[in-house]
């Protein structure tokens, strides 16, 4: 996993969010603009510049109890305003595995 320190060098090229996993259960979560976390990508704070991204990441990493492994991830903003994951990995994190689980939920 790319560490936040490495990501500090990364310049974002499009809309992005900060994501990580919730500490107590590992669920995928996104940093919100209210300085909290949500399991819904639609609640995520969107950053559009590298400075904004670095700032949001720093704030997120500081919450070591709330989340682990926070990093910047690309998203797409649809014309409708809907936020979509920006790559396959993030799509799978957001939507779940692409296969049927052996046991139905």
Q: What residues from 44 to 103 belong to the interface with another protein (CB under 8 A)?
A: 64-65, 68-69, 87-89, 92-93, 96-99, 101-103
State the minimum distance, in angstroms, from the CB of residue 14 to another protein: 13
3-state helix, strand, coil in the chain (%, to 5): 25, 30, 45
Nearer to another protein, 14 or 33 (CB): 14
- Check residue 28 for interaction with another protein (CB under 8 A): yes
Report the DSSP beta bridge partners of residue 72.
18
Residue 105, token pair as written in the block: 């939920």
Distance CA 73, CA 59 (A): 15
User: Where does this chain bind another protein (CB under 8 A)?
Assistant: 1, 21, 23-28, 64-65, 68-69, 87-89, 92-93, 96-99, 101-103, 105
């Amino acid at each position: 996993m790319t560490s936040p320190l490495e990501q500090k060098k990364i310049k974002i090229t499009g809309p992005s969010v900060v994501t990580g996993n919730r500490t107590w259960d590992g669920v995928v979560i996104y940093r919100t603009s209210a300085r909290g976390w949500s399991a819904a990508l639609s609640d995520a704070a969107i950053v559009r510049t590298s400075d904004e991204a670095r700032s949001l990441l720093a704030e997120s990493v500081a919450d070591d109890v709330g989340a682990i492994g926070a990093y910047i991830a690309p998203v797409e903003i649809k014309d409708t305003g809907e936020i979509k994951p920006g790559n396959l990995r993030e799509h799978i994190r957001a939507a779940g595995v692409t296969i049927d689980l052996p046991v139905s939920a």
